[in-house]
Structure 1
Amino acid sequence: MITRDIDAFIAVARTLKPDFGPATARAAFLVSPDGFVRAEQSAQDNRYMADPGAFDADAALREHHALHRALSQELPVVCFPGSEATPDAVFPNNVFATTRVDGEPRLIVGRMRHPVRQREAERPDIRGYFRDLLGYAETDLSGQAHPCELTGALVIDRAHGIGFCGLSERCDEAGAALMHAAFGLRVTLMFDLAPGEYHTNVLLAVLAGRAALVCPHSLQGDVSRALHALYGPHVVTLSPAEQAAFAGNAIALTDRSVWMSRRAHRRLAEASRRQLEEGAGFTVRGVPLEAIEAGGGSLRCCVAEIF
């Protein structure tokens, strides 16, 4: 089921058991910020991107290496090289995603809106790693007409098979339906992002199938009501200040901890931290990413999960 009807969505989603698959990934991959500069095409609809003078490629490389080390404390993490021809490739989760459908592993390749990012989908090394080395079947959405920027646009509760898909210039309704089918989801709620927003995962995170971070002021429709119906007291409502620091762009890579950037960690309100730590049972971890955040994304955008 894929719908805009929140009541119909809640009615189905509340019946689902956490038996769709593992709530968190078994590994992850990154793409190094080689050639990290402002991509003018992406800046057209990404208001979080900094001016060209704020990009520091050397600092971004150092931060990314530290991120790799930090995440490797919790699960295996592979890093692919970047390229000057693809300056946004440091955010691979928009282009590549994995899932398991009926137990079979699948690599999904998204259709990016901007040509500078469409080049990322052509990479033979990442496709070959999953196809030839790991034996994943490939679902290639990159050649069709409808933008569907994978786990940038689509936030997934992997335990229950539930999708939350925000529509913008980066994902239309047809693209949402293609992703719903590609991930084999049980139910997906579609809703519009507020004007000026580009990706859902800057505004919403579902954490290990039991908690959520949400910026309701940037989502159209009563998405918070659906979240509270599913995750109850473990829904953390973020303020505009927390959102601006990328606190919504977080990820749980195990059922024990939530990762976000250092800036987000510092701006997280004490009440929000208590909900995550004392309420939902997570440890909140922060990693310095100020240079990478100039590119208009943060920690979750850097992480492509391997299921």
Structure 2
Amino acid sequence: MSRQSIQAPRGVVMIRPHHFTPNPMTAADNAFQSTDEKRAAAAVASAAYDEVTRMAEALAEAGVTVHVFEDTTVTTPDSVFPNNWFSTHSGGHVAVYPMYSANRQKERRGDVIEMLKNEYRVQNVIDYSGLEKDHVYLEGTGAMVLDHIGRVAYAIRSNRTNEVALERFCTHFNFEPMVFDAVDRNGKPIYHTNVLMCLATDFALLGTQMIPDLRRRQEIIERLKETGREVIELSIDQIENFAGNAIELEGSEGRVLALSTRAYAALDQEQIAVIERSTKLLPFDVSTIELAGGSVRCMLAGIHLLRRTPQTEHLLFAAE
């Protein structure tokens, strides 16, 4: 059994959408988005609902505490990606973030924060969402990939990552900001850092080829190696198949790496072998949700907080 790690949360929040659809307001700067011309909108929404349900049940079976909230509205097409609007941190801290697209700003919900306060030891909530009035954005652990061991916040410059907001977050939460540029094969900026890199306890997945500044690329690799991690370099093709959009979680029998079946299929056997030295791979079919330009990591808001009371039931369904 792998040792417990501050990098891998024991619990997650998931949002189960009843009217999922790729968000037209985010398509301009999210090259990972696509459309499904073969299925009707209702069929796409139904499939996304089922994908969240199956994933929540499988994570719970693996011993991860899963808090599932329902979204019955039609105004928040990206609500399935809650990690963008809030994050939690050891010591009882919660952050709420400013979102780039107007309809994504509607995803923030008080019932999720109240659940965290009731079920976990929350000391304070720092709300940065007011920065939206000044067109300043920082989309949570999509915009940032947080190294809870080395205390570094890795962040790609984009419409969704403002360096002023990043500095403010890092000051409040004791992270060192490490900002860099990354582009896709067409030279377009990568919209979120968490599609390019995943930090686990003993390894890091990183799309090195998409960081054009060679010096900065090497600095990032060296910082990751300083924490004892093995850096697994991902190709552009692998990043386009969401191989970087994974998250390590703590299950009842050790750590698991949650990722999509598409991402898993993109990894080669040598990369899989490195991962499996410390972590069990747990792939999920979320092909419908991936139409929206995000994958498994985006669907999971990790909970780095202490429970108020022991909990034996892992799958929890919150009220609508």
Q: TM-score, normalised by structure 2?
A: 0.82
Q: 1:1-307 counterparts in 2 under 5 A?
A: 22-51=6-35, 53=37, 56-72=44-60, 73-82=62-71, 83-100=73-90, 103=91, 105-121=92-108, 123-131=109-117, 134-136=120-122, 137-144=124-131, 145=134, 146-185=136-175, 187-194=176-183, 195-208=188-201, 210-221=202-213, 222-231=216-225, 234-254=230-250, 256-278=255-277, 281-307=278-304
Mark the CA change 1:81 to 1:233 in structure 2 (over 3 Å): closer, same or farther: closer
User: Could you report, residue by residue, the CA deviation over 1:141-175 in whole angstroms, capped at 9, with x for unpaired residues?
Assistant: 11113110010011011123222111101112112
Q: State percent identity of aligned pairs.
A: 29
Greater Cα offset, 243-252 or 189-198: 189-198
Compute the displacement of 1:66 (Å).
0.8
**Does the 8 A contact of 2:181 with 2:189 survive in 1?**
no
Amino acid at match of 1:69: E
Q: CA deviation at 1:140?
A: 0.4
Q: Secondary structure at the match of 1:246?
A: coil
Which stretch shows the higher mean deviation, 287-296 or 210-219?
210-219
Partners of 1:286 and 1:201 in 2: how far apart?
17
Q: Is the 8 A contact 2:16 2:52 kept in 1?
A: yes
TM superposition shift of 1:89: 0.5
Output the CA distance in 2 between the equivalents of 1:285 and 1:179. Answer: 31
Count of aligned pairs = 279
Q: CA deviation at 1:22?
A: 1.8
Unpaired segments ≥5 residues, structure 2? 305-320
Shift of 1:229: 4.5
C-alpha RMSD of the superposition: 1.9
Q: Is the 8 A contact 1:234 1:276 kept in 2?
A: no
Shift of 1:139: 0.5
Alignment partners' CA distance in 2, 1:149 and 1:249: 15
Summarize the Cα distance change of 1:165–1:233 in structure 2 as closer, same or farther, 3 Å threshold: closer
Alpha carbons of 1:93 and 1:220: their partners in 2 closer, same or farther (altered >3 Å)?
farther
Unaligned runs of 5+ in 1: 1-20
- Secondary structure of residue in 1 paired with 2:258: strand
Q: Tell me the secondary structure at the aligned position of residue 111 of structure 1.
A: coil
More displaced 10-residue stretch of structure 1: 47-56 or 241-250: 47-56
